[in-house]
Amino acid sequence: MTSSISLATEIAGNKLASCLYNASGPLCSTTDELNAIGESAAGAILSKSATLEKREGNPSPRYVETSWGSINSMGLPNEGYEFYAAYSKHSANYNKPYFMSVSGLSHADNLLIIQYLADFTNIAGIELNLSCPNVPGKPQTGYDFEETHRLLDMVFAQSKLKIGVKLPPYFDIPHFEMMAGVLNKFPIAFVTCINSVGNGLVIDTHSETTVIKPKNGFGGIGGDFVKPTALANVRKFYTLLDKNVAIIGCGGVKNGMDAFEHILCGASAVQVGTCFMREGPSCFARIEQELKDIMQQKGYSTIADFKGKLRTCS
């Protein structure tokens, strides 16, 4: 029996009955999609990244599944920030926190949105997206350490809500240290590692074309392929950031063991992207049960029993 096993966690001062919820991206743009997450076993609801204006996003085909995951260049299609702010009132129907992802196309846009959100008391926290690789002409802020510092200076001067950031993947130890050095200067509530691995290329050899259209086929890679990179980012930021910053793991989670690995590396919660897109909201209950089964086999009753306790092999 796994009924005595708890997946409860806390993010930005909010209690989540389950540490599993959706990544911002797939199936979290419309009221129906957000409601479906609310009705599922997910521990929280996270919105699609909101921009100032409603956006159609990039031309299709812009999301393709592969045997190992996915490539996307969605280009932030979303209803605009006012829609996702208004949804926060409706989210109160579900007994779980509602987080809003914000991805302004400029610092000024981010500041305006964050100022506006200050009075929305049903928003549990803002996930500031510093890492979308899919808007033509817009670099990923998270790869520019000085620019990230400038933006966070402005954001924390204004925000009344709890703020976390969604980071791109890093691949070099000095880059982890530089970003952690910036983040440790601010009262960041949580850090989500990782967004998709930006600007990969998937080819259809039969037609000798790219499989997606935007940016001549370049897009963010998700799914199985990115899990080792996601785990490395979770682990590094868990060891480098102040201990009161929750790490949220995202990347390559399609079963209970993947979630277990993220938590072992230091994640307080785990988001599901490509698998949620493929399977829909029922994936949360399935992965939760698989995680509980693993915890039972290992004799763990809460995620605190193994969170961050990865050891180096001898």
Task: List the catalytic residues.
Answer: 132
Binding mask 29-68 for ligand SIN (x = CB under 6 A): --------------------x-------------------
Among positions 11, 74, 188, 189, the unique one binding ligand SIN when judged by CB under 6 A:
74
Region 218-247 residues binding ligand SIN, contact defined as CB under 6 A:
220
Among positions 6, 18, 25, 44, the unique one binding ligand SIN when judged by CB under 6 A:
25
Count other C-beta atoms under 10 Å from residue 112's C-beta: 15
Alpha helices in the chain (DSSP H): 31-39, 81-91, 107-117, 145-158, 173-183, 227-240, 256-265, 274-279, 282-298
Q: How far is the CB of 214 from ligand SIN (least distance, A)?
A: 9
Among positions 29, 91, 129, 148, the unique one binding ligand SIN when judged by CB under 6 A:
129
Q: How far is the CB of 228 from ligand SIN (least distance, A)?
A: 19
Q: How far is CA 147 from CA 106, 151, 152, in A?
A: 11, 6, 9
If binding means CB under 6 A, how many residues of this protein chain bind ligand SIN? Answer: 12
Choose among 278, 261, 279: nearest CA to 270.
Answer: 261
41 phi and psi angles, rounded to 5 deg: -85, 5
Query: Measured between alpha carbons, how far is 243 from 241 in angstroms, rounded to an integer?
Result: 6
Cβ proximity to ligand SIN: between 55 and 254 the closer is 55
Among positions 38, 75, 104, 142, the unique one binding ligand SIN when judged by CB under 6 A:
75
Query: Measured between alpha carbons, how far is 46 from 212 in angstroms, rounded to an integer?
Result: 26
Give the footprint of ligand SIN on this chain (CB under 6 A): 25, 49, 74-76, 129, 131-132, 134, 195-196, 220
